């Protein structure tokens, strides 16, 4: 039991301070098991907590966009594959660390930076679906397979700035539901992407240029207004 508790503590040590987990996030215990009073020594808290963390990512990354089941499965797959890759930039090999990984104030899964009340599941059909999908992916019962996708974005909810970065840094693999999924490029692909000019980048540059022109026009308007006030003041003193 001490070993189990140690493993569970290790899962949360890298993000406990940043996330301020409530008891509901410490370990997932199905309501039926709570009512039945199942002894702890018959349950694997570590695996149940990993299931809970993956389900959270599926539940909140799906959000209110009515994502398809396949899209939700691929979101779960990205979380699992990032943990399998065991990279520091993604939070290491523990699934909960990956889900709640935060660097320089930015969470790699945006829901993890929401206030606790807004990242606590409310139950219902959506939560049950997220739990089922997470379980299938973790136990290998899904047919999603290894697609090499490690990134995703919802184009409808992504700013041109961020979409431009995705298009220039990652290789598109497939679309599932409302999300597009990407993988990291090799050296040749990286050079091609760096020299590309996606539509999102063009729109972002155009928006920056428009903002620059508007700022310039506003500055010129202020300059003329100041000059007019100074001229009027001088005329007033000249008439005295």
Q: Are residues 91 and 181 in the same domain?
A: no
Q: Are residues 51 and 152 in the same domain?
A: no
Owning domain of residue 187: 148-240
- As for how many domains the chain has, the answer is 2
Q: Are residues 156 and 234 in the same domain?
A: yes
How far CA 23 is from CA of 16, 26, 27, 100, 136, in Å, comes to 12, 5, 7, 16, 25
pTM > 0.85: yes or no? no
pLDDT per position in the chain (240 positions), as tens?
444 334 434 443 333 333 333 333 334 444 444 444 555 556 667 788 899 999 999 999 875 457 888 889 999 999 999 999 999 999 999 999 999 999 988 899 888 998 888 888 888 888 999 999 999 999 887 776 667 889 999 898 899 999 999 999 999 999 988 899 999 999 999 999 999 999 999 999 999 999 999 999 999 999 998 988 888 777 777 666
Q: Are residues 141 and 186 in the same domain?
A: no
Q: Are residues 72 and 160 in the same domain?
A: no
Q: Are residues 51 and 28 in the same domain?
A: yes
Distance CA 32, CA 72 (A): 25
The last residue of one of the domains, among 146, 169, 184, is 146
Q: Are residues 140 and 227 in the same domain?
A: no
């Amino acid at each position: 039991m001490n070993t189990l508790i140690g493993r569970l503590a290790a899962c949360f040590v890298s993000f406990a301070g940043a996330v301020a987990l409530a008891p509901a996030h410490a370990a997932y215990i199905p309501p039926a098991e709570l009512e039945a009073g199942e002894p702890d020594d018959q349950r694997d808290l570590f695996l149940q907590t990993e299931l809970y963390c993956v389900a959270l990512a599926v539940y909140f990354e799906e959000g209110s966009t009515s994502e398809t089941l396949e899209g939700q499965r691929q979101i779960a797959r990205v979380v699992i594959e990032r943990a399998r890759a065991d990279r520091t930039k993604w939070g290491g090999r523990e699934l909960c660390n990956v889900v709640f990984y935060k660097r320089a104030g930015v969470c790699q899964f945006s829901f993890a930076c929401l206030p606790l009340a807004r990242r606590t599941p409310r139950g219902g059909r959506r939560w049950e679906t997220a739990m089922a999908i997470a379980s299938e992916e973790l136990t290998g019962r899904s047919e999603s397979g290894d697609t090499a996708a490690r990134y995703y974005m919802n184009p409808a909810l992504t700013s041109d700035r961020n979409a431009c970065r995705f298009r220039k840094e990652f290789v598109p693999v497939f679309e599932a539901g409302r999300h597009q999924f990407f993988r990291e490029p090799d050296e040749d692909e990286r050079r091609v992407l760096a020299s590309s000019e996606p539509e999102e980048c063009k729109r972002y540059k155009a928006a920056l240029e428009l903002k620059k022109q508007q700022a310039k026009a506003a500055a010129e308007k202020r300059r003329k207004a100041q000059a007019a006030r100074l001229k009027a003041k001088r005329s007033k003193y000249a008439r005295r």
